[in-house]
Amino acid sequence: MSPSVAPETLAAVHQLYGAQSHLIDGGHARDWALTFTADGEFVSPSYPEPVTGTGALTAFAERFAAEARARDEVTRHVLTNLFVREAGERHATVEAYLQIVTTPRGEPSRLVRQTTITDDLVHGDGGWRIRRRVVRRDDQPQ
């Protein structure tokens, strides 16, 4: 249920996820893309097809920022319930809840969407990165 994970591994994974939302929400599109491997995949029912590779992931994050600016609102990816389901030396599986919270200028904040993410991680020269993320939306249960 709660597999033993080395404190060093858990610290590195918590930092990866700690950084990630700040990067996309703060408009650092390429740095967000680099939390994924060079061939990283982002699979979400909110988008017509998977986004794959650093270039496409960067463009995806830039579109996200541009659309928020166009609507004059701030969107946050609120991450909770981070769980390292399994972790070896080079591979790990991570689950978390991810809420989308949007605030139009001068208006109340709103919980737009509750999702879960299941990520495959690999460990390389740059530390832990996400090889594949699968997003599931609570409003579209399977």
Choices 45-53, 56-64, 111-119; region in contact with its own copies by CB under 8 A: 111-119
Minimum gap (Å) between residue 108 Cβ and its own copies: 7
Tell me the DSSP string of 12-47. HHHHHHHHHHHHHHTT-HHHHHTTEEEEEEEE-TTS
The answer to whether 100 and 67 are in contact (CB under 8 A) is: no
Least separation in angstroms between residue 119's CB and its own copies is 13
Q: What 8-state DSSP symbol labels residue 82?
A: E
Nearest to 55 by CA among 76, 38, 35, 80: 38
Q: Which is nearer to its own copies, 53 or 73 (CB)?
A: 73
Nearer to its own copies, 48 or 106 (CB): 106
91-104 vs 73-87, strand pairing mode? antiparallel
Residue from 38, 101, 134, 135 that binds its own copies (CB under 8 A)? 101
CA atoms within 13 A on the CB side of 23: 18
The count of chain residues that interact with its own copies, using the rule CB under 8 A, is 58
Stretch that binds its own copies, among 13-21, 42-50, 53-61 (CB under 8 A): 13-21
Binding-site ranges for its own copies (CB under 8 A) = 1-8, 10-12, 14-16, 18-23, 31, 34-35, 72, 74, 76-85, 95, 97, 99, 101, 103-114, 116, 127-128, 138-141
